Structure 1
């Protein structure tokens, strides 16, 4: 099980939910199931409206999770990821801080998810 804590100015306080690690549902689906007001539009990784910052809360090494092609292109075009960030993600298996909730699969690690509540805008 993974603890996922959502943080946004839209919410009165942080909300922590449990997610089943390795489940194939995206973080966006976890948010929707728990009535977290994370913005989204296309749900396909192309619009960037569900961009979020992921902060890893464990001292354990982070579990790598590959960026999808759409996620890589969308975050690079939006200026949320640099070519260096993409290189680190691909070569050194280091997940970047900015991800798309519609593409991100929760792993067995505790995370803090920060989002502004405005589509495509990070905190």
Structure 2
């Protein structure tokens, strides 16, 4: 099981839910199942409206998390995935901070998911 904590301005407080790791459901599906509204449009990884920031919690190193080709393109076009960060992601298995909720598959690890509440709006990394 994975603990997924959602944080965003549309929530009165952070909400932590349990997700079955590796069930092939996306983070967006987990949010929907728990009545957490993350903005989305296409649900196919092409529009970038479900942009989230993922922070791995705990002492264990983050697990390798595969980015889909659509997610790579969408994040790159929107300035969220540089060539250097993409290389680090693919070579060193270090996940980037920004992801798309419709493409992210929950793994067996605890994460904090931050979203702005507005489709495609960036989450401040300085927090």
Band of TM-score, shorter chain: over 0.9
Q: Matches of 2:62 and 2:55 in 1, distance apart?
A: 10
Q: Matches of 2:63 and 2:16 in 1, distance apart?
A: 20
Alignment RMSD: 0.6
Q: Matches of 1:46 and 1:3 in 2, distance apart?
A: 27
Q: TM-score, normalised by structure 1?
A: 0.98
Runs (4+) off by over 3 Å:
none
Structure 2 gaps, min length 5: none
1:24 corresponding residue in structure 2: 24
Number of equivalenced pairs: 123
1:99 corresponding residue in structure 2: 99
Aligned residue for 1:62, secondary structure, equals coil
1:66 Cα deviation from its structure 2 partner = 1.2
Structure 1 gaps, min length 5: none
